[in-house]
Structure 1
């Protein structure tokens, strides 16, 4: 892992600790380094289809491979079915023309079946959808199926687990840097005031009235003590664990089989100001 990539993960951890999850997910999407499976599953369950595709597009496109194609298809199919189930024919037709036609070349017969749904009063009249439940249960089944495909997609290998990083690692590194800068000060003071991180810290002569006394009483061989705390009060690791399973299967009209599995992302931790 490159140092630049390490830095991105440290920023992601910091954003999570500061409860800036929205910004963190934007960074995940823009860098493509970490795919938050818990976040992705949640937006599927909430029916936030535009955000689901936007987030996914940072990692893979619809025609990258068969896994990616099926993920996009399942999302758009569910959006289409929900519009039909709400009898919003205009919306369903718009989804059909704009979102589903891209899959026509993959399966012409399936595309014809989907088109037939537009003329039905109830989508459950179609044999493949006879057991279609309510919106909540249908989304849950779809989300589980999609998450299995996400785990099996080679383009997402190595991106589903957040690295094991001790809490507040970025703050710790900054504090270590401040201590090093303070040790190198020409006139180090016992209680320096840090006003900014934009420039290196330098103790100013005359900042404290007792500077001369402090310097005179410091033994020549004694190292400067650490002025800034170098670690939080407690340390815990919060790795992400995702159970992987190989998934294969063609795109289909009917509801996918409801799989099991647990999907977790790195946990949020409350940070304290140590700088």
Structure 2
């Protein structure tokens, strides 16, 4: 079954080490450290017993038996949390009973000195902190003196500010470029000009609190506990829980710490078919949602592309029938006003606005079948890649503004990262001559190897064993997104032993998932091409199966399969969560996640050789107790002329 890679993919969401730089560092008028006063005899005994355990060489006592968490660290975090919440008496009682203080007294005085702006005292206290003498405190001193300099300038004490600059900051020999910038601030006309140019909110703002947060990056947490540490830990726990659900709860929605998220729960992932779209008359190969989430485009072997309206219950809105061959590619423009389609070597641009839609342009520059289309993120152009090993950059008028001088492979699929910096292609390097011309009427669900077999029967040379299956990653030039084109730089290539048929990039532009025959999906770190995880369980076989990310933070990976099921994996673990039936045991060619489903719900679609597109959502609350299983049908609803909700009887 599923065999996750031993490689570790970083989680989709991770709370930063320090959060909420604006929060108060002093609670109820007291510094966030106290003296450890013992209030009763019982507390004395407990404190002596607890604290005495740290007098050994190891300096570690488990939180409980068998735990690898340190008891003293936990108590310190609890003390800080109680003080932050205003439970000063509780914090004092805990300190008395445990014998542990939040921070050494010197740290409390240092912290309060920063908040009060007593800079001479702050530097004195810095020398009294229990810090390893080998630690370089130059960055800490530079940050403190920079604050002192800015505050003097703000108060129009120019002479004092220049003295700090010359006699305190310069001798540190630290960050000369920053020092030059600080020097230029002397010419500011007034305090408002200073604050604006320095991007600093002044002594009366939050700059001192921010300075403390900055200093915590240089001072060990064993000395000065990071601000609101418990909130950071709980935020990380919450992010972990949310990565097991398809949707991120609203920030105002209560979040329970008492139960763990269950990704196998039907409430965690949409496993319920809500609609079956049946207007296509042959295999459906592609499915793609508009960026606003309100439209669904589908296309396939019947030589048509269709647009469905989500809010009206997936009624058919437009049908584009002008292609002479099966439609193999779809791509919505970023503003959803244009839909690109491709059939064999022909691209058509469609106006999606208005009552019927119209063909804006027909483009024919490729020699052989087009493998993929992708828009540049700014919407000012798009890219096409084909089996002729060519990559073209187009503008909105349908002109080729640039082309890749040499694409290393025949392009089966391509994707552009959301940040516009990378282009990723998958395909085969054609090292045999002549170039293979795919059959015009062969199913676009088959891989180049199958096309080769059929072409060989017509006298063309088959693909040789030397042909490599490549993932090629390019750096896009800055001008590519601005419409000026430019030469793309090949960063690296990853060679795989089997056919590669699709690529999708995560919303943070960091990872790509690539389908790899016969039974796996690769998750590739685009920074260096490292394969960080493999997802296994589905069956790609000899077909082009298109996978996608799903969930609010790309925390799932979805893939079709030759056995008629859709397979859902958890991205962080590689674990197979669901194998959803419903497509009558025919190949599921493509899946697509609706990132902006109307109403904020979770929604996705799958397309199959059974000539249907299925739309999936959460199981209705009313049916949750009726025993409806995965892939079960939707409740009976109004039947339109072009779609048929699954009958209740099909649930079994």
In which range does the TM-score fall when normalised by the shorter chain? 0.3 to 0.5
Q: TM-score when scaled to structure 1?
A: 0.40
Task: Report which structure shows greater RCO (CA 8 Å, sep ≥6).
Answer: 1
Which structure has the bigger radius of gyration?
2
Q: TM-score when scaled to structure 2?
A: 0.18
